[in-house]
């Protein structure tokens, strides 16, 4: 369901930029005044207009660098005074909000751990009442669209008109190539529900390592994201947090200059007609898929009745393993990824279980 929140488009945020993407860059953490200022001046030379740095750094486990605290806000204020850059930082409590506002921080963001806790988000929203400052809301750690939407709605209810969403990927169990799975469909779904909310991509936290940054940045641009929030450090090898995913301002500049920015519309009548024909074919195939799934579920119902009549459990683990193994092999031969096949057939299997559960309980 589309929800048209009374918010301002990013071009009315008072941010200096000419073309997409808006770029917010700076170190993961403010470590020293010199590190902050050196990075800020280098980024300014590369045309960056918004500087970011973490002041409070909650870590998963204690004993690691957890930020310099409020004294780092004075360094951000100095960046603003000496470079003219806007400055941004994360807040995770009412106290953080008050401290950041006291030092004139221009943009605040709500982190992934905070977004997952409605109590924390509400405290932040209450502290922001009467202050119309740009607020960015990161997705929660887990792929929960309702939590993400709820956090945005709480901030909006506080009277904030400049709200953006940050897509930083989602935690998963086990090792993957990414630090956090991008799960691109989630930000697409958020944008569908909140069409006037600017979408900012955080490639640093998705990638976890600088070698993967560019492919994520390019995909975000291909999906028509409005901007990027990316970690850049004057000397990443010495960074006290997230060293592997940070890039120098010079390397960041090279990546940004390599991005291909594609037009979301503006096709000629001839090319748009060709696109419409392709989309009509897609619509036709989608209908065929639904018809096939409907036919499949009719067989599922018959199997459910058979299991009920013969006192069999709904889940037959051996059969499920056979389905997955067979279709992974079949899907691979057709060029589909293992991840796609797993997700597709798990979704179908879950729906089949729901159908059979209803039959068992009739």
Q: Evaluate whether 7 touches 153 at the Cβ level (below 8 Å).
A: no
Q: What's the confidence (pLDDT) of residue 200?
A: 97
Please give the torsion angle defined by the CA atoms of residues 54, 55, 61 and 63, in that order, rounded to the nearest 10 degrees: 130
34-43, 169-178, 297-306, range with the lowest pLDDT:
169-178
Q: What's the confidence (pLDDT) of residue 268?
A: 65
- The model's confidence at residue 2, banded by pLDDT at 50, 70 and 90, is low
Judged against a pLDDT cut of 90, whether residue 115 lies above it is answered with yes
* Cβ neighbourhood burial of 150 (10 Å; 0-12, 13-18, 19+): middle
Percent above pLDDT 70 for the chain:
96
Instruction: Give the model confidence (pLDDT) of 189-236 as tens digits.
Output: 999 999 989 999 999 999 999 999 999 999 999 999 999 999 999 999
DSSP string for residues in 31-72 = --HHHHHHHHHHHHHTT--EEE-BSS---SSTTS----TTHH
Q: What's the confidence (pLDDT) of residue 267?
A: 63
Q: What's the confidence (pLDDT) of residue 263?
A: 80
Say how far apart CA 205 and CA 247 lie, in whole Å. 13
In this prediction, residues 250-277 reach a mean pLDDT of 83
Query: The whole model's pTM is what?
Result: 0.82
- The model's confidence at residue 61, banded by pLDDT at 50, 70 and 90, is confident
Q: What's the confidence (pLDDT) of residue 79?
A: 98
Long-range contacts of 231-238 (CB under 8 A, 24+ apart): 231/25, 231/26, 231/27, 231/28, 231/52, 231/204, 232/25, 232/26, 232/27, 232/39, 232/43, 233/27, 233/28, 233/35, 233/39, 234/27, 234/35, 234/38, 234/39, 234/42, 235/35, 236/210
The overall average pLDDT reported for the chain is 92
Q: What's the confidence (pLDDT) of residue 275?
A: 82
Domains in the chain, CATH or no CATH each:
10-258 (3.20.20.70), 269-360 (1.20.59.10)
Place of tokens 């006291």: 102
Find the helix packing angle between 71-83 and 94-102, rounded to 10°.
40
Q: What's the confidence (pLDDT) of residue 8?
A: 82
In this prediction, residues 161-184 reach a mean pLDDT of 92
In this prediction, residues 167-177 reach a mean pLDDT of 89
Between the alpha carbon of residue 172 and those of residues 196, 340, 341, the distances in Å are 29, 16, 18
Place of tokens 């850059």: 85
92-106, 175-189, 260-274, range with the lowest pLDDT:
260-274
13-22, 64-73, 169-178, 208-217, range with the lowest pLDDT:
13-22
């Amino acid at each position: 369901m589309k929800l048209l929140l009374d918010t301002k488009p990013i071009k009315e945020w008072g941010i200096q930029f000419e073309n997409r993407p808006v770029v917010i860059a700076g170190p993961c953490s403010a470590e020293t005044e010199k590190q902050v200022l050196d990075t800020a001046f280098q980024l300014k030379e590369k045309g960056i207009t918004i500087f970011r740095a973490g002041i409070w750094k909650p870590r998963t486990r204690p004993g690691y660098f957890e930020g310099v605290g409020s004294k780092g806000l004075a360094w951000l204020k100095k960046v603003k005074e000496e470079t003219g850059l806007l400055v941004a930082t994360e807040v995770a409590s009412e106290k953080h909000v008050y401290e950041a506002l006291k030092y004139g921080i221009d943009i605040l963001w709500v982190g992934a751990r905070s977004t997952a806790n409605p109590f924390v988000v509400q405290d932040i929203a209450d502290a922001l009442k009467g202050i119309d400052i740009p607020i960015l809301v990161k997705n929660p750690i887990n792929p929960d669209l309702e939590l993400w939407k709820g956090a945005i709605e709480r901030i909006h209810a506080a009277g904030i008109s400049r709200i953006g969403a940050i897509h930083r990927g989602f935690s998963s169990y086990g090792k993957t190539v990414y630090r956090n799975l991008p799960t691109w469909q989630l930000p697409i779904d958020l944008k569908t529900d909140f069409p006037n909310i600017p979408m900012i991509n955080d490639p640093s936290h998705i990638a976890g390592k600088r070698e993967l940054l560019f492919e994520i940045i390019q995909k975000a641009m291909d999906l028509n994201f409005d901007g990027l929030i990316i970690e850049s450090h004057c000397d990443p090898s010495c960074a006290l947090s997230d060293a592997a995913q940070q890039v120098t301002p010079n390397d960041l500049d090279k990546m940004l200059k390599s991005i291909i920015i594609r037009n979301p519309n503006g096709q000629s009548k001839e090319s748009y007609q060709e696109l419409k024909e392709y989309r009509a074919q897609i619509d036709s195939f989608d209908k065929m898929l639904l018809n096939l799934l409907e036919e499949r579920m009719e067989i599922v119902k018959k199997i459910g009745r058979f299991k009920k009549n013969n006192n069999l459990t709904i889940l037959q683990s051996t059969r499920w393993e056979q389905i997955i193994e067979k279709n992974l092999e079949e899907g691979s031969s057709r060029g589909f990824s293992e991840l796609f096949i797993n997700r597709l057939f798990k979704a179908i299997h879950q729906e089949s279980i729901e159908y059979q559960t209803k039959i068992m309980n009739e």
